[in-house]
Amino acid sequence: MDIYNFTNKQRINKLTNRIFTKALGDELVIFRNDRCNGKEGAGQAVLFRDEDDIDMYLGPPCSTSTISAGLLASFWNMPMFSPASTDPMLSDKVKYSTLVRTSPAFFKMGAAILELFEHYNWTTTLIVSQRAVGTKDVFCDYSSRSIQEQFYTQGKPIPDLIEFDQRISEDDIDEILRKVLHRARIIIICGPAEDKKRFLLRANAAGMVNAEYLYISLNHLQPPNIQTPWVTGEEDDEVVRPLYRYVIESNLNDPLLSPTRSRSPYYHALQMLRL
């Protein structure tokens, strides 16, 4: 049995390569670089099926490559295992019938947040999200689309998605907050920790961090400072700390279930906003 393994420079794929080479042997695993690119992914998938007569695919790790190569694998009824492709569109089992993703899928984050809204009878929210740049910084794009799709499917469309660029200025943050002020009291926010912290500080200055508001902060993986998310090593860490009474941290690998968020200060925000 020959196996085709898409590769790129990501650390996760180096680990995958090492595991499968050790388990299956060099003669069974063929390595090629998809360059995290849809064109390369599809092209390599064709070449390695036709030239190497492979039996299954390990990878690609990048969603942009898996979107194209996965369609071919499904058409050929060939198994594909991806360690890190998380684009919500890959959840379509009709189109991607042979794709298995070993990392958490984004639809689970959207489903978890929707369940939270239903539990507390919340009805209105909006998303403030960092804008994707090509194939980089795509987590917020994927997670925001996942949440929108989950809400739309249940007849609860989210009317606003406000995007911003990394290292956004304080003036632009203030402009976004003016839009938020008249549209929602529950804000789903996604971006770098430093930018989210600055959003909270500016929101607090605008009188928007109190029992009338709740912020749901999205993270890809559980950060090492999950119990102290206000700590970024800056002088204002202690200033921001009390603001996290009104923030829920949601992680893709653990959407809403951390014991940390069942204790003060996180639980306070849930109690204040329960209708």
At 2-25, the pLDDT tens digits run 444 555 444 445 545 555 555 555
Q: Measured between alpha carbons, how far is 54 from 68 in angstroms, rounded to an integer?
A: 18
> Do 152 and 216 sit in the same domain of this protein?
yes
Q: Under a CB-based contact definition with an 8 Å cutoff, are residues 110 and 158 in contact?
A: no
- Boundary-marking domain end, from 44, 75, 101: 101
Q: Measured between alpha carbons, how far is 25 from 194 in angstroms, rounded to an integer?
A: 44
- Closest to 38 in 3D by CA, of 104, 107, 133, 135: 135
> Do 96 and 131 sit in the same domain of this protein?
no
- Boundary-marking domain end, from 84, 101, 118: 101
> Do 147 and 193 sit in the same domain of this protein?
yes
Q: Under a CB-based contact definition with an 8 Å cutoff, are residues 37 and 8 in contact?
A: no
> Do 72 and 115 sit in the same domain of this protein?
no
List, for residues 152-167, the tens digit of each pLDDT value: 999 999 989 999 998 8
Could you tell me which residue, 254 or 149, shows the higher pLDDT? Answer: 149
List, for residues 201-226, the tens digit of each pLDDT value: 999 999 999 999 999 999 876 666 66
Quote the domain boundaries for residue 36: 3-101
- Closest to 210 in 3D by CA, of 235, 247, 183: 247
State the pLDDT confidence band at 261, using cuts at 50, 70 and 90. very low
The count of C-alpha atoms lying within 13 angstroms of the C-alpha of 210, restricted to the half-sphere facing its C-beta, is 7
> Do 97 and 147 sit in the same domain of this protein?
no
> Do 76 and 190 sit in the same domain of this protein?
no
**Helices and strands of the chain, counted as H and E runs:** 9, 10
pTM, 2 dp: 0.70
> Do 267 and 165 sit in the same domain of this protein?
yes
> Do 97 and 173 sit in the same domain of this protein?
no
Is 80 exceeded by the pLDDT of residue 271? no
State the pLDDT confidence band at 102, using cuts at 50, 70 and 90. confident
- Boundary-marking domain end, from 101, 123, 143: 101
Looking at residue 32, which CATH number applies to its domain? 3.40.50.2300
> Do 90 and 197 sit in the same domain of this protein?
no
* Dihedral over alpha carbons 253, 257, 262, 268 (to 10 degrees): 70
> Do 112 and 233 sit in the same domain of this protein?
yes
Cα 44 to Cα 33, 143, 156, distances in angstroms: 8, 28, 41
As for how many domains the chain has, the answer is 2
State the pLDDT confidence band at 266, using cuts at 50, 70 and 90. very low
> Do 135 and 203 sit in the same domain of this protein?
yes
